[in-house]
Structure 1
């Protein structure tokens, strides 16, 4: 069924029809975003948009958010493994702080990243291509929906890359769909947790280094999607690797222990912040548990065993960093991601959070900061605990 609406700024598509419609629409060379909404996601409290950035007939970027400083940082961190090294990581974090304080544009940040050697054109192009392909893996099969065009004349300046041919990229996406279909029997979902068959591994007689690598990949009890993110790898590459492990009996997959999602815990003495977090995090699809008193927070945390914990620094009774120490002393909580919250953009707080093994998030200081804060919050949650559907015991 052809559902194409006769306008150059809007079209609708049926299931498995999006690739064809994009091929038709991207020929016009418009500069801006095709913003997609999917019928199957219409009942979400917060509407999910998928944006495809285009300029001069080329695809530049894809993501749930429009291109921004936060988008650039996330793409580089997600797909460039060298950013996880101590040296590059510290430079990366320093640059992130400066970009926020001086309100850089994405183009200004990119220029500085190139200047100090964090990324070059080839690395950026590779990261952007993997981001687009991983998105196409998901959204080309998301089903029916509508797309609207949002003009953005400055996009090519803020995203100064040559871009990718839609014909070539969409054809590659089609080939990837075939690869996903070939491994579907072994890897039915990237949100399953791999489990090691130790008896089979012992009989396999693998070199010690390869055996250790397999053990390290599964011991974290992370989903395949989270493993791919941690390794800064293409999700399909990781899925194909685990499919091979499954075929020879080294690995099997375990579903979540139950269907009850693990909550995100927020500890803050401000009722307003707690209310806002419940709205923002809940709107993204994650369950939320809030705690206003730091003295009783540990008991609550032990009780619910959350997927991640957000902790305010300055609280009466027990400070945020003292609470972090208490949490780390509990064996069952030691691996839970912790995020330090503060309204103070002090470098000392950031470094102290890093030394404590915590991420860091600055609270919005004015209404104009809320949109960027929500984008950083969503990106942080996906990186630390995965998508809402994957946050399970």
Structure 2
């Protein structure tokens, strides 16, 4: 349920984007502070999240309110040139030279710092803050539940280090990034996974020597992908894309702790059909959507295989040699471990009698495409069925 009382909001998973956009329709200058009961991507789900607004635009995001210290942390995250000993000394000297009132005027302090540190040109500052906001949106905006409180702080008009970003633009960009994250989930289900090198595969790959050296160096850190992204000063999404390609080609595998692996494992779809071509096309399609697929064509051993894999849903061809789909339903329902699994009957014969028999067996029914013009509608029906019966975690 969504609750909105003046400047206080309460939200469940995936409710925050619309609620935040609605609450920020009026021009505001101040802080949103969010506390979460669940934040799946956060390193510390209990830590608060601050969103700073100036005249209706987002100017900062982080686990602390905007200050010279928190700003420097964000800049050092995305600008590696600010991590050197000399750069750190310069930033510290600027803080010591400036009064609290001067430090609060962040745009002026940044101008002073830019004269001593060329990497602090305005374009780099804007880019670093923008990436930090999007990264926080990835973590908190969609999958988290909790509450938020807004408080006015007109001083942010003068403290703002950048002119800021439109909230609706940021939410749109975050939604696009969510789609990209979904497409990567097959290879990178969590940034908390640690990459493990397949030395032989990498050595025999088509990568050049410099690329191979970089992969060895990054994997050799022994750190999870989230930490590697920080070492590289890269956007976590871009880091995930890079490693997804390496994982897809077999140069690297991603090691997840048992609790994380269980949390992010995609549902398994089991399909039984005597057509190798149909099994291949089905597996390719459904795997691309983010599911794990176990394709099987031997009715003599299929029940044992189902018990070993414990799938989330099973698709059965009605017309198979040895045992029909209807006979197989009875055999599956006799197994306590499989009795409650959703079953879907597949057939090219979209007859009323087959539909009634599926209903009698407490199964869903899906007609196979018999002509090329029916393929698209079959794919749409299949995807909607999977979304309803075994939705992917968001």
TM range (shorter): 0.5 to 0.7
Name the residue aligned to 2:14. 16
What is the TM-score when the length of structure 2 is the normalising length? 0.60
State the 1:256 CA deviation.
Answer: 5.0
Give the alignment of 1:78-157 within 5 angstroms: 78-84=77-83, 86=84, 89-100=85-96, 102-104=98-100, 105-106=103-104, 107=106, 108-116=108-116, 117-157=118-158
CA offset digits 1:9-55 (Å, max 9, x no partner): 112222101011111122211101111111237xx999521111111
Determine the C-alpha separation between the residues in 2 that align with 1:240 and 1:134. 14
- How far apart are 1:98 and its partner, in Å? 4.0
Structure 1: tracts of 5 or more residues without a match = 260-393
In 2, the alpha carbon distance for the partners of 1:59 and 1:12 equals 20
Can you list the C-alpha shifts for 1:216-240, whole angstroms capped at 9, x where unaligned? Answer: 1111111111111111110110011
User: What is the match of residue 26 of structure 1?
Assistant: 24
| Equivalent runs, 1:151-190 vs 2, <5 Å | 151-190=152-191
Are the counterparts in 2 of residues 54 and 61 from structure 1 also a CA contact under 8 Å?
yes
For the residue of structure 2 that corresponds to 1:21, the secondary structure is helix
- TM-superposed CA distance for 1:257, in Å, is 9.6
- Find the aligned partners of 1:46 and 1:237 in 2 and give their Cα distance: 23
Q: Tell me, which stretches of 5 or more residues in structure 2 are unaligned?
A: 261-394
Aligned partners of 1:66 and 1:152: how far apart in 2?
11
Between 1:48-57 and 1:32-41, the stretch displaced more is: 32-41
Q: Is the 8 A contact 1:38 1:142 kept in 2?
A: no
Taking structure 1 as reference, are residues 258 and 129 closer, same or farther at Cα in structure 2, changes over 3 Å only?
A: closer
CA positional deviation for 1:57: 1.5
Mapped contact 2:36–2:45 kept (Cα < 8 A): no
Q: Verify: 1:235 aligned to 2:236, yes or no.
A: yes
Q: Retained in 1: the 8 A contact 2:191–2:240? A: yes
Matches within 5 A, 1:220-231: 220-231=221-232
1:63 maps to: 62
Matched with 2:347 is: none
Q: How much has 1:121 moved relative to structure 2?
A: 1.4
Question: Take 2:157 and 2:5, find their aligned partners in 1: how far apart are those partners?
Answer: 27
Change in CA separation of 1:169 and 1:258 when aligned onto 2, cut-off 3 Å: closer
Aligned residue for 2:34, secondary structure, equals strand
Q: Alpha-carbon deviation of 1:63? A: 0.8
2:205 is matched with 204
- Following TM superposition, by how much is the alpha carbon of 1:83 offset from its aligned partner in structure 2, in angstroms? 2.1
User: TM-score, normalising length from structure 1?
Assistant: 0.60
* CA distance in 1: counterparts of 2:89 and 2:225, whole angstroms: 26
Instruction: Please tell me whether the aligned partners of residues 26 and 54 of structure 1 are also in contact (alpha carbons under 8 angstroms).
Output: no
Q: Name the CA distance, whole Å, in 2 between partners of 1:114 and 1:71.
A: 17
RMSD between superposed Cα atoms in Å: 2.4
- The match for 1:372 is none
**Residue aligned with 2:120, SS:** coil
CA distance in 1, matches of 2:173, 2:183: 15
TM-fit CA distance, 1:203 = 1.8
Question: 1:53 and 2:52 equivalent?
Answer: yes
Whose radius of gyration is greater, 1 or 2?
A: 2
Separation (CA, whole Å) in 2 of partners of 1:147 and 1:236:
26
Corresponding residue of 1:72: 71
Answer yes or no: is the 8 Å Cα contact 2:94–2:113 preserved in 1: no
CA contact (8 A) 1:92 1:118 kept: no
| 1:58 CA drift (Å) | 0.8
Distance 1:63 1:125 in 2: 15
Looking at structure 2, the residues matched to 121 and 220 of structure 1 have their Cα atoms a distance apart, in angstroms, of 32
Evaluate the alpha carbon distance shift between residue 135 and residue 46 of structure 1 in structure 2; reply closer, same or farther with a 3 A threshold: closer
> For residues 248 and 147 of structure 1, do their structure 2 counterparts lie closer, same or farther at Cα, with a shift above 3 Å needed?
same
State the Cα distance separating 1:4 from its structure 2 match: 2.9
Q: What is the total number of aligned residue pairs between the two structures? A: 252
**Alpha-carbon distance in 1 for matches of 2:259, 2:20:** 39
Q: How far is 1:199 from its partner?
A: 1.2
1:4–1:258 Cα change, 3 Å? closer
